[in-house]
C-alpha cells in the first residue's frame, strides 16, 4: 500500500479532476492512499443532467428556412439563437450542481476535442444530441466514441461531411479526423487526406430523423491507400487510424495539458501512457488511471502549473467559495462571463476547439477574471455576522492550501477575518492557476 495523501494532495486531486476545490470532496479523499483516492475519482456517482430545454426539430427549421416569407427566416434565426442559449444554460446548471464534476470536466474536454459549434451548425437539437453522445462515452472507450462521432449529425454539418459526395469529395472532415482526432499534424500526407475523404463519401445525415444516413449512390466505393493500407469506407479508415500508435499519443499529449501542466508534454511519460491506452483498446479510464497515478501528476513542482480554464475559474469558484454572492450569479451571468473569457459553451472559437493553458490569459481576460472574482468575494470585509456563509472551521494556513495550489504571491492581510482572507486568496495571481 502506498502512503496516505495529505490535505494539499487531496486538494490537488480534487481541483485537477473536478470543477473547483470543494472542501467536502477534499476531506473525503484526505488520508486515503493515492490509489484509493484515484479509484474514487475514477468512479463518480452517476448524475444525469436534467431534461433538456425544448428544441425545434431540423425538419421544422428547414421548412421555415426555405419559406418564401422572409419573416419566417428571421424568426427561425431568432429561435435558434434563443434555443442555443437555453442549451448553454442547461449545461451550466448541470456543471454548477453536479456531485460528479469529473464527468462534466471530461465532457467539456471532448467538446473541445470533437468540436462543433452552434454558430455553424445552427441546430441546438443536433448539438444536444452530440453532447449526449460525448457524455455517454466521456469516461468510456475512445474507439467507440470516435466511431460514434464519425456518424454524428452535428459533426457532419460542422465539418461538411454531408457535402462529401462521390462527384465532389469534401476534405474538411477527413483533414480534421487525421489532424485533430487521431494522428496529429505532420503524421500523414495530403494524399492520405484525399483517400480518407473518398472513403467517407456518402456518409451523410437524414434531416427528417436527425440521424446518420449512408447514401450508397454518393459513395465512392473504390479502394484507396491510407498510411500504406487499403481502405474502402469510413470504418476501414477508423480501423487503420486506431491501429496507428500516433492516435493514442495524440490523446495522451492532450491529457498532459489537461491534467499536468501548460508546458510541452514530457515525451517519455506520454509514451508510457499512450502504450497503456492502446493496449487497453482505448479504455479512457485506463489512460486516466495512468495519468492520475503518475509521478508527474503528483510532483510538487507541477502544482499551480496549469492555468484555470474559464469553466474551472468561474464555475469552480462558484462551487468552491461558500459565499452568498455565488447565488447572485445567475446561469445567464455565467454564460456571459464564459463567453467573455473565451469559453462560450457549444461555440468553440474554431475547429481546434477552445484555447488552453497560458493562452487563456491576456490583458482583456485578466480584467474580466479579476472583476469576476472581485464581485464574487466583494462582500463587506468587516461583516460582523457569518450569516449566509458556510466557512470551514480551519486555520488560515489550511485556507491557503484549500484555495491556492501554491503559496500566494502577495502578502496576506494581517487583519483577521475569514471573509478578508478568502478575498485576498482569490485575488492573488496564484488563484488563476491550479
Partner 1 sequence: MNRREFAKLAALTPFASILGMTPELALSADAEPAGTTGKRILVLVDLAGGNDGLNTLIPQVKQQKYIDLRPTLAQKKVIDIGTGVAMHTSLEPLKSWWDKGQLAWIQNVGYPKPDRSHFRSRDIWETASSSDHQLVDGWLSMVLPAREHGLHGIVVGSGLGPLAGKQCRAVAMHDPRTFVKQATLVEQAECETSNPSLAHIIDVQHQVHGASNLLKRSIRVQHVDRFFRPSNFNNDLKSVAKMIVGGAGASVYKVTLPGFDTHAGQAVTHKNQLHYLAEGLDSFAKAMQNFKLWDNVLVMTYSEFGRSLSENLSGGTDHGTSAPQLVMGGSVKGGQLYGDSPDLNNLDSEGDIQYTTDFHSLYASVAERWWGFENPWPQHAPISFV
Comparing CB distances to partner 1, the nearer of 119 and 218 is: 119
Comparing CB distances to partner 1, the nearer of 40 and 296 is: 296
Comparing CB distances to partner 1, the nearer of 73 and 89 is: 73
In angstroms, the CA 305 to CA 307 distance is 7
- Identify the CA nearest to 325 among candidates 368, 374, 392: 374
In angstroms, the CA 46 to CA 136 distance is 11
In angstroms, the CA 265 to CA 353 distance is 19
Instruction: Write down the least CB distance from residue 376 to partner 1, Å.
Output: 12
User: Counting contacts by CB under 8 A, is residue 351 touching partner 1?
Assistant: yes
Which of 143, 274, 361, 422 lies at the binding interface for partner 1 (CB under 8 A)? 361
Partners of 4 in the β-ladder? 33
- Using the rule CB under 8 A, give the single segment among 54-62, 65-73, 133-141, 236-244 that binds partner 1: 65-73
Strands 229-231 and 211-214, bridge-based pairing: unpaired
Comparing CB distances to partner 1, the nearer of 53 and 429 is: 429
Element containing residue 48 per DSSP (H, E): none
Close Cβ partners of 175 (under 8 Å, ≥ 6 residues apart): 193
Count of residues binding partner 1 (CB under 8 A)?
Answer: 38
Which of 357, 381, 391, 418 lies at the binding interface for partner 1 (CB under 8 A)? 357
Comparing CB distances to partner 1, the nearer of 220 and 428 is: 428
User: Counting contacts by CB under 8 A, is residue 374 touching partner 1?
Assistant: yes
Given a contact cutoff of 8 angstroms between Cβ atoms, the answer to whether 127 and 116 are in contact is yes
User: What dihedral angle (degrees, nearest 10) is formed by the CA atoms of 161, 201, 130, 117?
Assistant: -10
User: Counting contacts by CB under 8 A, is residue 264 touching partner 1?
Assistant: no
Element containing residue 212 per DSSP (H, E): strand 211-214
Instruction: Write down the least CB distance from residue 433 to partner 1, Å.
Output: 6
Comparing CB distances to partner 1, the nearer of 40 and 349 is: 349
In angstroms, the CA 113 to CA 86 distance is 23
- Using the rule CB under 8 A, give the single segment among 34-42, 53-61, 103-111, 350-358 that binds partner 1: 350-358
Which of 74, 132, 267, 299 lies at the binding interface for partner 1 (CB under 8 A)? 74
330-355 b/e with 16+ CB inside 10 Å = b? ebeebbebbebbbbbbbbbeebebbb
User: Counting contacts by CB under 8 A, is residue 299 touching partner 1?
Assistant: no
Given a contact cutoff of 8 angstroms between Cβ atoms, the answer to whether 24 and 77 are in contact is no
Cell of 91: 449545461
Comparing CB distances to partner 1, the nearer of 95 and 118 is: 118
Provide the sign of the torsion angle of the four alpha carbons 33, 37, 42, 44, taken in this order: positive
Q: Give the start-end residues of each E strand in 157-251.
A: 203-206, 211-214, 224-226, 229-231
Mask of contacts with partner 1, 78-117, x by CB under 8 A? ----------------------------------------
Report the site for partner 1 in 117-146 (rule: CB under 8 A). Answer: 119-120
Instruction: Write down the least CB distance from residue 374 to partner 1, Å.
Output: 5
Instruction: Write down the least CB distance from residue 213 to partner 1, Å.
Output: 24
List contacts with partner 1 (CB under 8 A). Answer: 68, 70, 73-74, 119-120, 261-263, 304-307, 340, 350-352, 357-359, 361-364, 366-367, 370-371, 374, 406, 409-410, 427-430, 432-433
Amino acid at each position: 500500500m502506498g502512503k496516505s495523501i495529505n490535505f494539499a494532495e487531496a486538494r490537488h486531486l480534487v481541483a485537477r479532476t473536478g470543477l473547483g476545490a470543494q472542501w467536502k470532496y477534499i476531506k473525503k479523499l484526505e488520508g486515503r492512499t493515492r490509489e484509493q483516492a484515484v479509484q474514487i475519482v475514477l468512479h463518480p456517482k452517476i448524475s444525469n443532467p436534467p431534461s433538456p430545454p425544448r428544441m425545434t426539430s431540423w425538419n421544422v427549421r428547414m421548412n421555415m428556412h426555405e419559406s418564401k416569407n422572409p419573416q419566417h427566416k428571421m424568426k427561425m434565426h431568432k429561435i435558434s439563437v434563443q434555443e442555443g442559449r437555453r442549451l448553454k444554460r442547461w449545461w451550466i446548471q448541470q456543471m454548477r450542481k453536479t456531485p460528479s464534476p469529473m464527468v462534466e470536466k471530461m465532457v467539456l474536454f471532448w467538446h473541445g476535442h470533437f468540436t462543433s459549434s452552434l454558430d455553424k451548425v445552427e441546430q441546438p437539437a443536433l448539438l444536444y444530441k452530440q453532447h449526449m453522445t460525448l457524455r455517454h462515452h466521456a469516461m468510456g472507450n475512445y474507439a467507440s466514441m470516435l466511431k460514434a462521432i464519425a456518424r454524428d449529425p452535428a459533426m457532419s454539418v460542422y465539418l461538411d461531411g454531408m457535402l462529401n459526395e462521390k462527384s465532389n469529395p469534401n476534405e474538411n472532415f477527413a483533414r480534421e479526423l487525421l489532424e485533430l482526432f487521431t494522428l496529429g499534424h505532420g503524421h500523414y500526407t495530403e494524399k492520405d487526406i484525399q483517400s480518407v475523404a473518398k472513403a467517407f463519401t456518402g456518409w451523410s445525415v437524414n434531416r427528417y430523423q436527425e440521424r446518420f444516413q449512408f447514401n450508397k449512390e454518393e459513395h465512392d466505393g473504390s479502394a484507396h491507400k491510407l498510411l500504406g493500407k487499403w481502405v474502402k469506407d469510413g470504418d476501414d479508415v477508423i480501423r487503420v487510424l486506431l491501429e496507428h500508435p500516433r492516435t493514442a499519443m495524440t490523446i495522451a499529449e492532450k491529457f498532459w495539458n489537461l491534467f499536468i501542466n501548460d508546458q510541452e508534454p514530457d515525451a517519455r511519460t506520454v509514451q508510457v501512457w499512450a502504450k497503456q491506452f492502446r493496449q487497453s483498446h482505448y479504455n479512457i479510464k485506463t489512460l486516466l488511471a495512468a495519468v492520475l497515478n503518475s509521478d508527474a501528476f503528483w510532483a510538487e513542482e507541477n502544482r499551480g502549473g496549469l492555468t484555470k480554464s474559464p469553466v474551472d475559474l468561474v464555475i469552480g469558484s462558484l462551487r468552491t467559495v461558500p459565499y452568498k454572492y455565488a447565488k447572485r450569479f445567475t446561469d445567464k451571468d455565467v454564460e456571459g462571463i464564459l463567453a467573455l473569457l473565451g469559453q462560450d459553451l457549444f461555440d468553440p472559437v474554431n475547429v481546434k476547439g477552445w484555447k488552453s493553458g497560458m493562452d487563456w490569459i491576456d490583458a482583456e481576460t485578466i480584467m474580466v477574471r479579476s472583476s469576476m472574482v472581485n464581485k464574487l468575494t466583494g462582500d463587506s470585509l468587516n461583516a460582523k455576522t457569518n450569516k449566509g456563509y458556510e466557512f470551514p472551521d480551519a486555520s488560515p494556513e489550511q485556507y491557503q492550501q484549500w484555495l491556492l495550489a501554491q503559496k500566494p504571491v502577495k502578502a496576506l492581510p494581517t487583519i483577521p477575518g475569514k471573509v478578508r482572507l478568502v478575498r485576498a486568496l482569490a485575488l492573488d495571481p496564484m488563484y488563476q492557476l491550479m
